[in-house]
Amino acid sequence: MSIELTNIRKTFGDYVALDNINLNIENGELVALLGLSGSGKTTLLRIIAGLETPDRGEVRFHGEDATSLGVRERHVGFVFQHYALFRHMTVFENVAFGLRVKRRAERPVEAEISRRVHDLLKLVQLDFLGDRYPSQLSGGQRQRVALARTLAVEPKLLLLDEPFGALDAKVRQELRRWLKRLHEEIGITSVFVTHDQEEALELANRVVVMNNGKIEQIGTADEVYHRPANPFVHNFLGNVNLFRGRIENGRVYIGDTPVEIDRTGPRVEGATGTAVLALRPHLIEIIPRPNGRPSFPAIVTSINPAGPQVKVELVAEWGDSVQVDVGHERFEELALSPGARVFLRPKQEKLFVYQI
């Protein structure tokens, strides 16, 4: 089922949670709503579910207006951040709940319910835990029960609110892969909320980057990481160095160094003014002396070996601090130490220019 959100606006008193949100989600997609706390992502998810009502705007499922429908009528599955499993019911009873509260006419017989529940528990690999209570399960297991419970009523849409937020890093990774496989198997349209960009990039077909109630960018993982639309997105997904610079007559200057711009980035020909230049730490080259390509001087301030890369911190000639990630071999070749004077060459094709 596809989702169309048009001009959604939501306020809580004076607080604007969502400001004019427009978003279309294709049938069968797995979409991530990515942002910090307060960005509005959870509110948006709840509006899709019907747990909140927008002040303005429409929610459509497959073209049909759903804005006036209550939660029950929307047939969406919702997995809560803390699972909301019914503590006084066993795992089996939790998963069976949605089937047992159906209207008489639609309710399957108990044998059928039992079969479906067991199939689902098998699907989430918990079929031997049917008689346990939620208190006896681990976080990861509870999460899977919550998922099974939602899938039992065959919703047309699956909504997940920070599904892995409360789990350990290892469990999170496992469940991420597991969820991706599950989605490929079932193919249900899914939207999940997260503040973890790694999670969003790994799982989602498309990522919706949100900030302060607005959508900053919608795109595939590739697009939002390598072709960010603005400094916020650029900085939110991975690290980035930001420099103040100038544009004069189509040429871009970092400090005093003229630099060629990204051919796919925003056009600045003929433009003049200040600009923000963004460059990821691993896309800057450290060279002992200028070699003809544009570069600027800097002094090493500290060196932090960090796993596969060495993170070198420097101060540029004009005072901005810069972080450069260098591979180990290159680092050894350069033989850097704090106080060393070097030159930094941006890999021009990767420099982003945002005009202010």
Partner 1 sequence: MKRRDRVLPGFGLTLGYTMLYLSIVVLIPISTIFFKAASLSWIQFWTVVLAPRAIAAYKLSFGAALAGGLIDSVFGFVVAWTLVRYEFPLKRLIDVMVDLPFALPTSVAGITLTSLYASNGWIGAWLEPLGVKVAYTPLGIVVALTFVGLPFTVRTLQPVLEDLDKEYEEAAATLGANRLQTFLKVILPALVPAQLTGFALAFARELGEYGSVVFISGNMPFRTEVVPLLIMSKLEQFDYAGATAIAVVMLIIAFSILLLVNGLQKIAGRRLMVT
Partner 2 sequence: MGDESELYAFNYSGFPGAESAPTRRSATSDPLAVRIALITVAFLFLGLFLFLPVIAVFIEALRKGTGEYFAAISNAETLSAIRLTLMTAAIAVPLNVSFGLAAAWAITRFEFRGKQLLVTLIDIPFSVSPVIAGMLFVLLLGVRTPIGAWLYDHGIKTIFAEPGIVLATIFVTFPLAARQLIPIMQAVGSEEEQAAIVLGAGGWQSFLRITIPNVKWGLLYGLVLCNARAMGEFGAVSVVSGHVRGYTNTMPLYVEILYNDYQFAAAFAVSSLLTLLAIATLVAKRCLEGRVAPVKKFEQDVPENKAAA
Give which of partner 1, partner 2, none residue 331 binds (C-beta under 5 to 8 Å, depending on kind): none
**Distance separating alpha carbons of residues 125 and 148, to the nearest angstrom:** 10
Q: Does 242 bind partner 2 (CB under 8 A)?
A: yes
Sign of the CA dihedral with 18 first, then 19, 20, and 23 last: negative
User: What is the rounded CA–CA span in Å between residue 175 and residue 159?
Assistant: 16
Give the N- to C-terminal CA distance of the chain in Å, as an integer. 40
* Shortest Å distance, C-beta 39 to partner 2: 6
Q: Considering the complex, state which of residue 152 and residue 201 has its C-beta at the smaller distance from partner 1.
A: 152
Min. distance of Cβ 85 from partner 2 in angstroms? 17
Element (H, E) at 61: strand 56-61
- Binding to partner 1 by CB under 8 A, coded x per residue (else -) over 29-68, reads --------------------x-x-----------------
Q: Which residue blocks in the chain are alpha helix, DSSP H?
A: 41-49, 71-74, 91-100, 110-123, 139-152, 169-186, 197-203, 221-226, 231-236, 328-334
Among the residue ranges 94-102, 134-142, 166-174, 225-233, the one whose residues contact partner 2 (CB under 8 A): 225-233
C-alpha to C-alpha distance for 164 and 182, rounded to whole angstroms: 15
For residue 318, the partner it binds in partner 1, partner 2, none, with Cβ less than 5 to 8 A by kind, is partner 2
Stretch that binds partner 2, among 38-46, 109-117, 120-128, 263-271 (CB under 8 A): 38-46
How big, in percent rounded to 5, are the helix, strand and coil portions of the chain?
30, 35, 35
DSSP lists the bridge partners of residue 217 as 209
Contact between 71 and partner 2 by CB under 8 A: the answer reads: yes
Site string for partner 1, 94-133 (x = CB under 8 A): ---xx--xx------------------------------x
Which residue pairs, CB below 8 angstroms and at least 24 apart, start in 218-221?
A: 218/23
Q: Which of 44, 46, 124, 343 binds partner 2 (CB under 8 A)?
A: 46
DSSP of 216-254: EEEE-HHHHHHS-SSHHHHHHSS--EEEEEEEETTEEEE
Closest distance to partner 2 from the beta carbon of 244 (Å): 7
Name the minimum Å distance from CB 184 to partner 2: 31
Positions in the binding site for partner 1 (CB under 8 A): 49, 51, 70-72, 75-78, 80, 82-84, 86-88, 97-98, 101-102, 133-135, 142, 149-150, 152-153, 166
Residues that bind partner 2 (CB under 8 A): 12-13, 15, 17, 35-39, 46, 50-53, 70-71, 195, 211-212, 230-232, 235, 242, 244, 276, 315, 318-321, 356
